[in-house]
A and B are shown apart, each in its own frame.
Chain A
């Protein structure tokens, strides 16, 4: 084997399935497809009056990287508004090498993606869906 994209932390995030499922009565929902690979993410969120996420759930029909990203995002999204989620996206972008600097937990798990540009969209797809849900 020549590299280790699927390191234990990424696999563990995917298997944890944090936030996997649907919300009974979401304030908003959004679905994003990646037409290149067919990955599909649906995000449900419940917001409070000030636009902060109270509850979030995701359904992923996609690869392990997309599942891991949705799981990581779900683990830290509650309590944030759209500006807070945008900050998390910067963390993810730093992890995969699209922005300068080191990423914090849990997104630092995605640093092996720096060597796999073709798969980076898989990590960002849940962020795209959540941004749509928040807009």
Chain B
């Protein structure tokens, strides 16, 4: 079945925007995706017909707000194939990883080891370094292969009986490489280690069945998954949520507070101190519902056809190099490239003058840039609403940069 990209595009009002006489060619979805009407409508409905704080109010608006908020939890859970009470709304993906690093990290002992990879986003490195300085855990790092994949050949040598957690990007935010989750889980479980995936770049590309993956923690960002800013999700196995102490203290996360002692609420409330991001969570619920309604077999094929068109086009331009897998196997629509003699920021700036939005720089993955001795890359990250005109405009801009800037 062919994929009706025009029908998808019509649901995203911003894609009709014209800036300085040019259409928007939005290829920076890995940073923030755009938002469909379904999400905007859900947020507007909450703000205009049900805005109130959640949980404790007895008035009807509070009841509406609570109902919508909990419905969003159900929609996110359905998208991930898990139970609603296993879903913790956070401020974002970074906040979700920090929550695990703090709360699960507090259960670890000096000398316990955390295994990360060389291609991780800083948000999956720095929280563990903070934990290391607090509690004396050790960090190990899996290197990447020349084509930008986590090197699973090396992984067995780095997993030790002291490894307590393996935390890796499900899909690289730089190279687009998909990790072999089954292999990672098998190796981790052989020493009793837990597995966390940073799903920021995978979640925007279709529903997941987290229990089937055999992992223990999953984190994702709302704004990269067609939802609003200011909300993210942590999923964890219920026994882990039960075992973890709170990350932040405040309202809603308590059982009973006295000055002598305070008890905690059960999860997920225990990890949602204070007023949660209600509107954004409702928007994210709508985004998950929107994603579930899409035919992802067709959408993914469409996205990968765009990747192929992009890679073919780049290869025709003298002096371009792709950082990441050359094939379409086990990769998602994130493509980084370098243009000889032109700095990535200058490529991106030139592309902007053609109406093309991309990201350039280190992509919060400086260890990966160091690995390849790069200042940065130009990153093209696609979504189901992108089409051939976006790719062709980008290629025109790269040709122009190559002609004028070197």
A interface residues with partner B (beta carbon < 8 Å): 1-6, 11, 36-40, 61-65, 116, 119, 122
**Smallest CB–CB gap between A123 and chain B, Å?**
12
Of all chain A residues, which has the CB nearest B342?
Answer: A64
**Smallest CB–CB gap between A114 and chain B, Å?**
14
- The residue that A37 contacts in the complex, of B19, B345, B404, with Cβ under 8 A, is B345
Q: Which residues from A are CB-within-8-Å of B22? A: 2
Q: Which residues from B are CB-within-8-Å of A122? A: 345
Say whether B41 faces chain A, with CB atoms less than 8 Å apart. Answer: no
Of all chain B residues, which has the CB nearest A4?
Answer: B353
B12-41 near A? 1/0 per residue, CB < 8 Å? 000000011110000000000000000000
Say whether B331 faces chain A, with CB atoms less than 8 Å apart. Answer: no
Known: A38-B369, A38-B376, A64-B343. A3 touches B353 (CB 8 A): yes
B349 touches A38 (CB 8 A): no
Say whether B381 faces chain A, with CB atoms less than 8 Å apart. Answer: no
Instruction: Please measure, in the bound complex, the distance between the C-alpha atom of A34 and the C-alpha atom of B366, giving whole angstroms.
Output: 13
Say whether B209 faces chain A, with CB atoms less than 8 Å apart. Answer: no
Instruction: Please measure, in the bound complex, the distance between the C-alpha atom of A3 and the C-alpha atom of B355, giving whole angstroms.
Output: 10
Known: A1-B400, A6-B404, A38-B366. A64 touches B346 (CB 8 A): yes
A-B pairs, 10 with minimum CB distance: A2-B20, A63-B343, A63-B345, A64-B346, A1-B353, A38-B362, A63-B346, A37-B361, A2-B353, A3-B353
**Smallest CB–CB gap between A43 and chain B, Å?**
18
Question: Interface size on B (CB < 8 Å)?
Answer: 24
Q: Is the contact region of chain B dominated by helix, strand, or loop, or is it mixed?
A: mixed
- The residue that A6 contacts in the complex, of B20, B349, B355, B366, with Cβ under 8 A, is B349
B20 touches A3 (CB 8 A): yes
Known: A1-B354, A61-B375, A62-B343. A119 touches B349 (CB 8 A): yes
Instruction: Please measure, in the bound complex, the distance between the C-alpha atom of A3 and the C-alpha atom of B342, giving whole angstroms.
Output: 18
Say whether B350 faces chain A, with CB atoms less than 8 Å apart. Answer: yes
Q: Which residues from B are CB-within-8-Å of A5? A: 349, 353
A116 touches B345 (CB 8 A): no
B375 touches A62 (CB 8 A): yes
Say whether B405 faces chain A, with CB atoms less than 8 Å apart. Answer: yes
Known: A37-B376, A38-B361, A38-B362. A11 touches B404 (CB 8 A): yes
Instruction: Please measure, in the bound complex, the distance between the C-alpha atom of A37 and the C-alpha atom of B369, giving whole angstroms.
Output: 12
Instruction: Name, among A37, A62, A119, the residue most crowded by chain B CB atoms within 10 Å (CB to CB).
Output: A37
B355 touches A2 (CB 8 A): yes
Known: A1-B400, A2-B20, A38-B362. A11 touches B353 (CB 8 A): no
Q: Which residues from B are CB-within-8-Å of A63? A: 343-346, 349
Instruction: Please measure, in the bound complex, the distance between the C-alpha atom of A59 and the C-alpha atom of B154, giving whole angstroms.
Output: 36
Of all chain A residues, which has the CB nearest B344?
Answer: A63
Of all chain B residues, which has the CB nearest A64?
Answer: B346
Q: Which residues from B are CB-within-8-Å of A116? A: 349
Instruction: Name, among A6, A61, A63, A119, the residue most crowded by chain B CB atoms within 10 Å (CB to CB).
Output: A63
**Smallest CB–CB gap between A4 and chain B, Å?**
8
Q: Which residues from B are CB-within-8-Å of A2? A: 19-22, 353-355
**Smallest CB–CB gap between B390 and chain A, Å?**
16
Instruction: Please measure, in the bound complex, the distance between the C-alpha atom of A6 and the C-alpha atom of B402, giving whole angstroms.
Output: 12
B313-349 near A? 1/0 per residue, CB < 8 Å? 0000000000000000000000000000011111001
Q: Which residues from B are CB-within-8-Å of A1? A: 353-354, 400
Of all chain A residues, which has the CB nearest B366?
Answer: A38
**Smallest CB–CB gap between A54 and chain B, Å?**
30
Beyond A2-B22, A11-B405, 19 additional pairs, beta carbon < 8 A? A1-B353, A1-B354, A1-B400, A2-B20, A2-B21, A2-B353, A4-B353, A6-B346, A6-B350, A37-B345, A37-B376, A38-B376, A39-B375, A62-B343, A62-B375, A63-B343, A64-B343, A64-B346, A64-B405
Q: Which residues from A are CB-within-8-Å of B345? A: 37, 39, 62-63, 65, 119, 122
Q: Which residues from B are CB-within-8-Å of A119? A: 345, 349
